[in-house]
Amino acid sequence: MSAYSFLDPRCKYPLPDGFDYASYIDTERELWALFPETQGLRVNFCQVGLTANLYVEAPEGDGELAREETYFLMPFPDRTMRPLRMRVVRKLTLAEYRLSHITAQRMSEELADTSEIMEEVHLHILGPEIVEESQ
């Protein structure tokens, strides 16, 4: 496991019964249309400071994350949400980020029922003592 991963990459969280993976992945595919260089791989983007990076799935490895790699918690067709190793493809322009954000809002709607998973992950990463201190 990478020293820089906040979760064990092998962890799995069951998706809620009502989660519609097909609908979610259709929304993710909109990013394929916006960014053909992703070549149909799982895709995500992330704001980093005052810039944003485009990511695609990377081969899973047991070794340390490369500088351009990270994990994103993503839904999978086996009805789980788990970390997916991803690598930076490139930076996004402001116009691209704005277009991506519209798709991301729809993805957020698809992920609305996963709030319990996100709370569990948040608690795991920060630890109960930090969460209690901040309340």
* Residues 3-41 pLDDT 10s: 888 888 999 999 999 899 999 999 999 998 999 999 889
SS (H, E, C) 75-86: EECCCEEEEEEE
Q: CA quadruple 115, 121, 122, 124: dihedral positive or negative?
A: positive
pLDDT at 37: 92
What does pTM read for this prediction? 0.88
Which helix (H) or strand (E) is 87 found in, with range?
strand 80-91
Q: State the chain's mean pLDDT as an integer.
A: 90
What is the distance between the alpha carbons of residues 116 and 77, in angstroms, rounded to a whole number?
A: 19
Query: Residue type at 124?
Result: H
Task: Name the band, by pLDDT with cuts 50, 70 and 90, for residue 127.
Answer: confident
What is the distance between the alpha carbons of residues 11 and 39, in angstroms, rounded to a whole number?
A: 27
pLDDT at 34: 92
For 104-132, give one letter per residue: b (16+ CB within 10 A) or e: beebeebbeebeebeeebeeeeeeeeeee
pLDDT at 4: 82
Higher-confidence position of 135 and 45: 45
Q: What does residue 3 show for φ and ψ, rounded to 5 degrees?
A: -65, -15
Largest CA distance in the chain: 45
Strand pairing partners for 46?
A: 53
Quick one: average pLDDT of 64-93? 95
Task: Name the band, by pLDDT with cuts 50, 70 and 90, for residue 70.
Answer: very high
Q: Which two tokens stand for residue 11?
A: 């962890």
Please identify which residue in the block is written with the tokens 């983007």.
45
Whether the per-residue pLDDT at 132 is higher than 90: the answer is: no
Whether the per-residue pLDDT at 75 is higher than 90: the answer is: yes
* CA 16, chain centre distance (Å): 17
